[in-house]
Amino acid sequence: MIKTSKQEHGRILIMNMLFLFTAFMVFPSVKAQDTAAMYKKKLPRKYVLGFLYENGYVFQTNPFVKGDNTEHVPINNYQAFSVRIMFQTTGKKPWHQLYGYPYWGFGVHVSDFYNPEEMGVPVALYAFLNAPFHRWNNWSLNYEIDFGITGNWRHFNPVNNQYNVAIGAGETVYIHIGADLTYYLSDRWEAALGVGLAHFSNGALKLPNFGLNTLSPRIEIRYKVHGDPVLKKHNIAPFKRFGNLEFSAFTGLKNVLFDSAQVNITTKYQGIYFPIFGFRTTFNYQISHKSKFGIGMAVSYDGSVNARVAVDKGELEVKDLPFSEKLRLSIYPSYELVMGPYSLLLQPGFYIFRKQFLHQVPVSYQRIGLKYTFTNHITVGISLRAYNLHVSDFIEWSVGYQLTKIKK
């Protein structure tokens, strides 16, 4: 073996580095192509910025928006601005392809109801999914679901904002469901024209809480920071239908106000909080990668049902009532839109047993929520229960366990 000195070894190393540098300078196109291919594999081009504007109608569902406010003018229109960062799915997971490579991301939504003195300038932080019904060459018809939390309201106050019965707390839930038609202007620019329904409510965590419901067209301009992405395609195996049985427990809180001349106005509008909890059993049958249908039954305890109070030294005290008077049994059909471990829940329910009292909520209710599944068995979720399609009853948090059996 021939030995080399340290000087000779260093000279050879320098020569090799000079050769590599010369090679890169002589063959720049090869370098650029190889580097671009490597970049596309490691960092899919998927970041998109969206700038959105909407202007629409406020449904006249409570006295405040109908004109019972300081201006004595109906609040029937509003505008909103939104800036958001969007992530173009690239097929890294099979559900990306199943849903047509949708966008998902986060946004900041600023609303203007043309009444900042009584409503403030609410700001929502939300997550969203925008996925295509169908794509053409330069067009796509999409649906979108937004879910978030809104703050910066000027909410109800019995002393200095007593008309705003729509919003009873400084924070609310924000839900938007809509559709849009998108035109691909170039490999970096898109324009979308859509329409959607939005709901603002605190889920009866603080009354009064009639909520706000809007219908609005919207326009959005999107900029793809790195141009069109590289999409990966999977060979997706045929779906095997299966059923599962899910057991879950849920809980929540409800605020109730009591009208009494024996307490001061601040105590009156603080109200009393009542616990809600229950158990639910649902049998689901998943018919495709996307859709799951089911039927279920729930038994719940609602502490606010037929609640009665007494006044002691200017304070409200709840009178104890039998536990059984506050139990309710309901049944419901169920639909789940499945996106990997995530699900969007839609469950219209019907009470089939409850003790009859005055001023009860209707016999039917609506439940919309989000669910996440761990390891195919454990689930956690958050849902909004409402009635008459626009009045919030309460927000429920749930945890569950599901048994799965595949049917070939």
Q: What is the pLDDT of residues 70-100, one digit of tens each?
A: 999 999 999 999 999 999 888 888 888 999 9
254 and 318 in a single domain? The answer is yes
Q: How confident is the model at residue 21 (pLDDT cuts 50, 70, 90)?
A: very low
Integer Cα distance of 266 and 368 in angstroms:
33
199 and 52 in a single domain? The answer is yes
Strands in 225-341 per DSSP E? 242-256, 272-286, 291-302, 309-312, 315-318, 327-339
pTM of the model: 0.80
133 and 214 in a single domain? The answer is yes
Q: What is the pLDDT of residue 40?
A: 39
- Say whether pLDDT at 33 is over 90: no
Pairwise pLDDT comparison (250 vs 306), residue with the higher score: 250
Integer Cα distance of 335 and 333 in angstroms:
7
* Residue 30 within a domain: no
Asked if 13 and 4 count as a contact pair (C-beta separation under 8 A), the reply is no
Tell me how crowded residue 138 is: count the other CB atoms within 10 A of its CB.
11
Q: What are phi and psi of 62, to 5 degrees?
A: -155, 160
Q: What angle do CA 367, 370, 372 make, to 5 degrees?
A: 140
Q: What angle do CA 41, 42, 46 make, to 5 degrees?
A: 85
48 and 182 in a single domain? The answer is yes
Average pLDDT for 209-230: 91
Query: Would you report the helix, strand and coil content of the chain in percent, each value rounded to 5?
Result: 15, 55, 30
What is the rounded end-to-end Cα distance, in angstroms, of the chain?
67
* Residue 234 within a domain: no
* Residue 31 within a domain: no
Dihedral Cα 156, 119, 178, 291, nearest 10 deg? -30
Pairwise pLDDT comparison (33 vs 170), residue with the higher score: 170
Q: Tally the domains of the chain.
A: 2
Domain finish residue from 190, 224, 258:
224
* Three-state secondary structure call for residue 33: helix
Integer Cα distance of 265 and 263 in angstroms:
7
217 and 288 in a single domain? The answer is no
Asked if 4 and 11 count as a contact pair (C-beta separation under 8 A), the reply is no
Tell me how crowded residue 239 is: count the other CB atoms within 10 A of its CB.
12
349 and 289 in a single domain? The answer is yes
263 and 194 in a single domain? The answer is no
255 and 108 in a single domain? The answer is no
353 and 316 in a single domain? The answer is yes
Residue 126 belongs to domain spanning? 44-224
What share of the chain has pLDDT > 90, as a percent?
A: 63
* Residue 360 within a domain: yes
Integer Cα distance of 307 and 367 in angstroms:
23
* Residue 6 within a domain: no
279 and 338 in a single domain? The answer is yes
Q: What is the pLDDT of residue 27?
A: 35
Q: What is the pLDDT of residue 245?
A: 95
- Say whether pLDDT at 393 is over 80: yes
Domain finish residue from 224, 254, 272:
224
367 and 393 in a single domain? The answer is yes
CATH at 69: 2.40.160.20
* Residue 18 within a domain: no
Asked if 347 and 333 count as a contact pair (C-beta separation under 8 A), the reply is yes
* Residue 37 within a domain: no
* Residue 13 within a domain: no
- Say whether pLDDT at 317 is over 90: no
218 and 171 in a single domain? The answer is yes
Average model confidence (pLDDT) for the chain?
Answer: 86
Q: Each residue of 221-260: pLDDT tens digit? A: 999 998 887 788 878 888 889 999 999 999 999 988 877 6
